[in-house]
Amino acid sequence: MLIKLLKYEFRSTSRTFGLVYLIMMVLCTLTGLLDQASELLSAYSSIFVTLLMVTALFFFGAVVITTVLNIGRFQKGVFGDEGYLLHTLPVHVWEIIASKLIAALVWTLGTVLVMGLSLFVMILASSAISLSNVGFFFRSLIQFVSAADPTVLTQFLLSIGLMLAMLITLILQVYASISLGHLFPSHRTAWAVVIFFLLNMIQDFFFKLTVFRLTPTIYADPSGLLSFSYAFGEINMAVNELSPLTPSVFLFYLAAGALLWLCSQLVLSKRLNLE
Amino acid sequence: MDSFKHPVLQCRGLNKSYGRHHVIKDLDLELSPGRIVGLVGPNGAGKTTLIKLICSLLTAQSGQILIGGHPVGAGSKALVSYLPERTYLADWMKVADALELFADFYADFDREKALDMLARLSVDPKARFKTLSKGTREKVQLVLVMSRKALLYVLDEPIGGVDPAARDYILSTILTNYNEEGTILISTHLISDVETVLDEAIFLKDGQIVLHKSVDEIRQEEGKSVDELFREVFKC
């Protein structure tokens, strides 16, 4: 049933995301071409600058659209009118949460990927680099990866895994906030926002309490101002050895994600009140 | 588990409240297969709350609900065909998408039957829901719900707020398409419109069942129609 839920989850949003991705690619291609043209004819310069600004704004807009759609799909699909259909389908609660989570994850990563791809197309279209240079870049990258220390590669993969774990936890935090906000008789959206920030504070507190305690000799922070970015700083620093922090941060987000999932699961299975 | 060996619906000691307001109070109910049951009561009696509890859209504070012997969950949902009092199909969907969705999730959905009913309504399966009128959307939902061979049909105010012609269409659609081994639980204010098709009537008042009898029993014992008895019991 999860596959079937995913099918309708993607269908409901693919048109919007497809359009956003298409506009992003077209804008970047045009911007790149105008950059090239403005070098030949200065009259194009002002159009190029305007288009560049529009593109930058649209990139920002794409992030907003992705966030709003992902949140809306959960809020409306689970607790709105569409919930009357969703909760009467013969599916388990975990399948509902999983389908929403997977779709949100795919669309978020999709937006990031298309952004990167669009920028790449813009650079190509502007002739800042040629196709032969691109080929050279990828050949060099492959050579670098194959020659690299396996520890570095492991660290790289771990950091990718860590970023995914953080993203999944963030999405589950949004879901848990909306679900817990649903427990209130009124002003549910406002409560969801308050709960989101409360959950953030709780997570932050336990992060400092657990993760840095696990690795005190390396990461003792007298100022108490350690933040999540330390984890990434550490990953960047690691060259020849595995970061001792990455696995603990990864485990922390895994545990936090599991608890947040449990919050949504309990509300949907034990406290659902569609009014 | 063979669902047809058990009562279609069993509610035991059901309680539901919103804050201090007790909407369903210690409610016990059992429905047998093959019946058309009217759930009637004034506004605020708890009809929609009871229906939502049966369809697991609300969770009870206490008590148990069994559908065909199954506790409320994914198993019971496969046996219940629910028509809410609102439209629940998303705007982005075409009618054909909704048919596909029902066929995907409900093993008892009869797509041919649904297409036939839609053709008689002159509804184009390629039409998007956002282009359909509220009345047509409601009819499409009814077609979807009645194209299932469910154990229990739960219809929340299916003829409320529609014109008499549409009322006739809705009632004839229900009567000609339901699974006769199953049971229909239909909530309504318009008792006189449905009285002729009912086998049983449940009177709900302040979250409690004040009467649950067959329509024949009501006529014989009370010497009144269900509509007349309703007016007497719920006199303001």
Instruction: Indicate which CATH number applies to the domain containing B200.
Output: 3.40.50.300
Does one domain contain both B123 and B233?
no
Together in a domain, A181 and A137: no
Mutating which of A76, A82, A85 best tests the B interface, going by the most B Cβ atoms within 10 A?
A85
Interface contact A83, partner B, CB < 8 A? yes
B117 with B134, same domain? yes
Q: In terms of domains, do A230 and A127 share one?
A: no
Residues from chain B contacting residue A270 (CB–CB below 8 Å): 59
Q: How many helices and strands (H and E) does chain A possess?
A: 10, 0
Do residues B154 and B142 share a domain?
A: no
Give the C-alpha distances (Å, rounded to integers) separating A144 from A120, A138, A157, A243, B50.
Answer: 21, 10, 15, 21, 66
Check if the beta carbon of residue A31 is closer than 8 Å to that of residue A52: yes
The vertex-B51 CA angle with B48 and B56, nearest 5°, equals 120
Tell me which of A122, A142, A162 is where a domain ends.
Answer: A142
| Pairwise CB contact (< 8 Å): A81 & B87 | yes
**Cα–Cα distance, A72 to A87 (Å, whole number):** 17
ipTM: 0.88
Q: Which domain holds residue A83?
A: 1-142
Residue that is last in its domain, among A107, A142, A177: A142
B138 lies in a domain?
yes
Are A84 and B58 within 8 A, CB to CB?
no
Burial class (CB in 10 A: 0-12, 13-18, 19+), A31: buried
Does the pLDDT value for residue A236 go beyond 50?
A: no
Q: Tell me if B176 is assigned to some domain.
A: no
Q: How many CA atoms lie within 13 A of A64 on its CB side?
A: 6
A7 in contact with B, Cβ within 8 Å: yes
Give the count of domains, chain B: 2
Res. A245: pLDDT tops 70: no
- Which helix (H) or strand (E) segment holds residue B70: the answer is strand B70-71
Query: Nearest residue on chain B to A81, judged by CA atoms?
Result: B88
Q: Is the dihedral of CA A187, A189, A191, A193 positive or negative?
A: negative
Among candidates B19, B52, B75 on the partner chain, residue whose Cβ is nearest the Cβ of A274: B52
Mean pLDDT of all residues in A209-221? 56
CA dihedral B226, B53, B108, B202 (to 10 degrees): -10
The answer to whether the beta carbons of residues B186 and B212 sit under 8 Å apart is no
One domain for residues B92 and B110: yes
Report the C-alpha dihedral over residues A252, A254, A257, A261, rounded to 10 degrees.
-140
What the block records as the tokens of A127 is 């002739």
* Interchain contact B89–A (C-beta under 8 A): yes
CA distances from B106 to A253, B77, B111 (A): 37, 9, 11
Q: Is B153 on the interface with A (CB under 8 A)?
A: no
Identify whether residues A130 and A229 lie together within a single domain. no
Residue of A nearest to B90 (CA): A82
Say whether both A160 and A74 belong to one domain: no
Give yes or no: residues A209 and A190 share one domain.
yes
A229 and A134 within one domain: no
Tell which A residues from 185 to 204 touch B, by Cβ distance under 8 Å: 185
Q: Are residues B145 and B234 in the same domain?
A: no
Q: Amino acid letter at B4?
A: F
Under 8 Å CB-to-CB from A110, ≥6 apart: which residues?
A: A17, A21
* A20 and A70 belong to one structural domain: yes
Beta-bridge partner residues of B186? B38, B155
Count of domains observed in chain A: 2
Assess whether B73 and B2 both reside in one domain.
yes
Residues A195, A154, single domain; the answer is: yes
pLDDT digits (tens, 9 = 90+) for A102-141: 999 999 999 999 999 999 888 888 776 666 777 777 788 7
Q: Say yes or no: B105 and B70 in one domain.
A: no
Chain A CB within 8 Å of residue B193 CB: no
Question: Would the CB atoms of B105 and A91 count as touching at under 8 Å?
Answer: yes
Choose from A87, A88, A99 for mutation: most chain B CBs within 10 A.
A88
Q: In the numeric block, which tokens belong to residue B201?
A: 């009537």
Question: Exposure string (b/e) for A235-245, b if CB count within 10 Å is 16 or more?
Answer: beebeeeebeb
How many Cα neighbours within 13 Å face the side chain of B106? 28
Co-location of A66 and A170 in the same domain: no
Tell me the per-residue pLDDT of B32-73, one tens digit each, with 9 for 90 and over.
Answer: 999 999 999 888 889 999 999 999 999 999 999 999 989 988
Torsion region of A242: left, alpha or beta (phi above 0 gives left; psi -120 to 50 gives alpha): beta
B59 with A270: Cβ contact below 8 A:
yes
Q: Are residues B101 and B143 in the same domain?
A: yes
Are both A138 and A154 inside the same structural domain? no
Q: Are residues B57 and B17 in the same domain?
A: yes
Let me know whether A115 and A223 are in one domain.
no
- The answer to whether the Cβ–Cβ distance between A89 and B77 falls below 8 Å is yes
- CA neighbours within 13 Å on the CB side: how many for B226? 28
Does a structural domain hold residue B217? yes
Residues 215-274 of A with CB under 8 A from B: 270-274
Q: What does the alpha-carbon distance between residue A87 and residue A97 come to, in Å, rounded to a whole number? A: 12
Residue A247 to residue A75: CA distance in whole angstroms: 33
Q: Is residue B230 part of a domain?
A: yes
Question: Does B17 reside within a domain?
Answer: yes
B99 in the same domain as B71: no
**Considering Cα of A41, then A46, then A50, then A53, what sign does the dihedral take?**
positive
Question: HSE of B85 in the Cβ direction (CA atoms, 13 Å)?
Answer: 17
Domain boundary among A124, A142, A160: A142
| Beta strands in chain B, from DSSP E residues, in sequence order | 9-18, 21-31, 36-40, 62-67, 70-71, 80-83, 152-156, 183-187, 200-205, 208-214
The answer to whether residue B103 neighbours chain A at the CB level (below 8 Å) is no
Number of CB atoms found within 10 A of residue B206's CB = 14
**Are the Cβ atoms of B59 and A271 closer than 8 angstroms?**
yes
Disruptive mutation site among B101, B128, B156 for chain A (greatest number of A CBs within 10 Å): B101
For residue B131, give the DSSP letter.
G
Q: How far, CA to CA in Å, does A112 sit from each of A109, A192, A250, B167, B203?
A: 5, 26, 21, 52, 58
Containing structural domain, residue B210: 1-79+150-162+183-236
Tell whether B171 is covered by a domain: no
* B119 shares its domain with B213: no
Same domain, A39 and A158: no
Tens digit of pLDDT per residue, chain B (236 long)? 455 567 899 999 999 988 888 899 999 999 999 999 999 988 888 999 999 999 999 999 999 999 998 998 888 999 999 999 888 888 889 999 999 999 999 999 999 999 988 888 888 899 999 898 888 888 899 899 999 999 999 999 888 767 777 788 888 888 888 888 889 999 988 888 888 889 999 999 989 999 999 988 888 888 888 888 888 888 76
Q: What is the largest CA-CA distance in chain A?
A: 67
pLDDT at A155: 73
Residues B106, B24, single domain; the answer is no
